[in-house]
Amino acid sequence: MPLPLKFPVDEREVEFNAIRAQGAGGQNVNKVSSAVHLRFDIAASSLPDEIKGRLLALSDSRISQDGVLILKAQQHRTQEMNRSDALARLQDVVDGVSNPPKPRRATKPTYGSRQRRLESKSQRSSIKNQRGKISD
């Protein structure tokens, strides 16, 4: 049984455009617009503001500078399946940012790790010192 969605995406806020798919597929690819472009305007959506902020902060190439998430679905042979695939992928992106990131706690290196670091630095230094000219 699938888990209930915390922040479901409203289909009315999503714009779909049917396009022709790329790649192999014979005549069907050339004559049928089965691929789907999904456009989701993040700022104009009904998602909570913190989710919108996290989505806009993602360094994802699928998000334009205008704050529009664009997904292309062309895996399946029918437009309906590609449409549902694009919606599922959009929901995955939203679910990925729905949990806030854990705050980082500053830690100090242990005494042993500092000693190992200094020992490796001194070993490397001695190796490099042996590369110099030999003086009598």
**CATH number of the structural domain 11-98:** 3.30.160.20
The structural domains of the chain, with segments of one domain joined by +, span 11-98
> Taking Cα atoms as reference points, which of 44, 42, 41, 18 lies closest to residue 31?
18
The contacts found for 20-29 with CB under 8 angstroms, 24 or more apart, are 21/74, 22/74, 23/74, 25/77, 28/77
From first to last of its 136 residues, the chain has per-residue pLDDT tens of 455 667 888 888 889 888 887 777 667 666 778 889 999 998 888 888 998 999 988 888 888 888 899 999 988 888 899 999 999 999 999 998 888 888 999 999 999 999 999 999 999 999 999 897 777 7
Q: Tell me how far apart the alpha carbons of residues 114 and 106 are, in angstroms, rounded to a whole number.
A: 16
- pLDDT value of position 25: 67
